[in-house]
Structure 1
Amino acid sequence: MSLDRRNDSRTSPLSTRGVRAAACLSLACAAWPAAAQTSGNLGLVSEYAVRGISLGAHPALQLRVDHDAPGGWYLGGFVSPATLGDGSQTELIAYGGRAGRLPSGLSWDAGISRASFSRDHEYDYDEVHAGLALDRASARLFLSPAYYGAAPSAYLDLNAFHPLGERLRLTFHAGLMHRFGSDPDTHADLRVGLAATLGDLTLQLGWQTLLRQAGSGAPRARALTGSAGIRF
């Protein structure tokens, strides 16, 4: 199972959003690489959504680059157009960390990331994460001292998949976000989807929802989501 090295799910201004991105990054390197290697992924998403929150109602072209070094160390970057604050801008996420495998067979991953916006720098934020993964499931905890420049936050990210054949799999995601501070807030996001791998091309189609108090927070992502990505 892959652990997204960025902030998997990406989600809303201030505290209501939940990684990114993120976005996307993998612990597919849980077995420590014997030699350094660099890879990338160019993707088209129907909507840029993070942790159930919309960061852009229009299709977006996104780029991710990963570099795996000996000893399980990694670093990378993710870039995408985003709608936040005063309007359209570019989001850049830089991240790094280390991944490995325990004697029990569990994989672990820990790292740090920095999200920056091209126009509204008051939303820039840092996040640290740590997680464990089995072959088909993973759990990660993300912590930020000032999520989107606002209050401290914690996000629990759970992912799993079930193979439906050699190239097709059913995917599941559940996330729980809590914002601390004088105006605490908690919300959850759920997603189920189908992913097909055709060589270096991956196609995904899914359904997602956001569970939170009515009338609170940033715009929720559309229920239906789709993406296509090519690895290089």
Structure 2
Amino acid sequence: MHKFDLKGKKVLITGAGTGIGRAVAIEFAKLGADIVVNYNASRETAEEVVNEIHKLGSQAISVQADVTQEEQAKRLVEEAAKFGNGEINILVNNAGTLVQRCKIDEMDLSLWNKVMDVNLTTAFLVTKHVIPYMKKQNSGRIINLSSLAAHDGGGPGAIPYATSKAAVQAFTKGLAKELAPYNVLVNCLAPGLITTRFHDQYNTPENRAKTCQNIPLKREGSPEEVAGAAVLLSTEYGSYITGETIEVNGGVLMD
């Protein structure tokens, strides 16, 4: 078996209907993994991902769940375990968004909490309910999605988003130590400017072009390039990596 092989692995990816989550699902399927495609509102695109995975010869299902809600997160994990015949080998906590740009002195508590819930609480809730399966297996991989914003505080009006993503990195480090005795590796990806619907919604073409001038590679990254890092962390080539954050940003931050 090649070390980049994921044949037979059962994977749960939150927010997998679009963007980076979608790219990770497709790349994993190309390597033989079977995928649970979680979505909240993007049903049509999630079904497209499932169909694409089937064409690649892997199995997939889509499961709707708002993973900011514990009962729905628990149900999602239970359905994923059923799909995997009792196993969940890889979890990718990809669900998250900026929600909206807002200065701190103009922000109410409900917006602050919403940003924390969608970016941080989602990872906690899904991970909490996946852990018993991985402990029973005595193996597993968990990949959390952070952001370049965790290092630089984010752009205008994005402080809560940046804060939540920095917390994801701390969560990753602590969890890596907590789960190491069970052979569960926990790592993080921190994308920079990636060509996704996220930046279509929360950025402008002018600002994106200006940002690219400060990136050593002088371009935006693709979702597939983030997915490549996820492949590394999920296969045998990543078997001695845990508690780490891989920066996928074209060199704009060299940590």
Q: Choose between structure 1 and 2 for higher RCO, CA contacts under 8 A separated by at least 6 residues.
A: 2
User: Which structure carries more strand by proportion?
Assistant: 1
TM-score category of the 2 structures, normalised to the smaller one: 0.3 to 0.5
Give the TM-score taking structure 1 as reference length: 0.34
Give the TM-score taking structure 2 as reference length: 0.32
User: Which structure carries more helix by proportion?
Assistant: 2
